[in-house]
Structure 1
């Protein structure tokens, strides 16, 4: 694994975590884990699981730890449910 690849994965995980940190630590960990689980290629996950997680932010580290242990995070995105249940055809994007 190249140094630049793992550095990119670390940066991506930390950016995802930073976007969710306003939710509070526990919810941010779950949202970060869900995002990584849903959108990262298995090879990306394998590389970050094998990496030294001390290089990650606390939220990203906890999310990666959960995923590496086999935890299946609950889906955090509710936009589809909102649209199908309440206002079909409308966006919750603002």
Structure 2
């Protein structure tokens, strides 16, 4: 995979800042989660959660962290079924 955690965190924070500036916080969180799910490929999302689990989300903005934790079931790629 070409993306390292630092790049993913930077992107997650930049996109998060855009959505966090919207007036409705609940809608902002939902739209951010949907954006990550639609625009980020599964490897990127998996790598972001690997970083979150390994470091407790070090470097991620409060908004990004909150959405990644609260809406994990929507964003994280499903594990391949056995």
Deviation at residue 41 of structure 1 after TM alignment: 0.6
Match of 2:38 in 1: 38
- Whether contact under 8 Å (2:37, 2:74) holds in the other structure is no
Deviation at residue 66 of structure 1 after TM alignment: 3.3
Tell me the TM-score normalized by structure 1. Answer: 0.62
Structure-2 separation of matches of 1:66 and 1:34: 13
Unaligned runs of 5+ in 2: 76-82
How many pairs align? 70
Unaligned runs of 5+ in 1: 73-94
- Could you list the per-position Cα deviations for residues 20-41 of structure 1 after superposition, in whole angstroms to 9, with x for gaps in the alignment? 1222433322221110011101
Tell me the TM-score normalized by structure 2. Answer: 0.70
- Could you list the per-position Cα deviations for residues 24-74 of structure 1 after superposition, in whole angstroms to 9, with x for gaps in the alignment? 433322221110011101000000011131321111112222343x136xx
Match of 2:4 in 1: 5
- Whether contact under 8 Å (1:20, 1:28) holds in the other structure is yes
Structure-1 separation of matches of 2:13 and 2:20: 10
What is the root-mean-square deviation of aligned Cα atoms in Å? 2.3
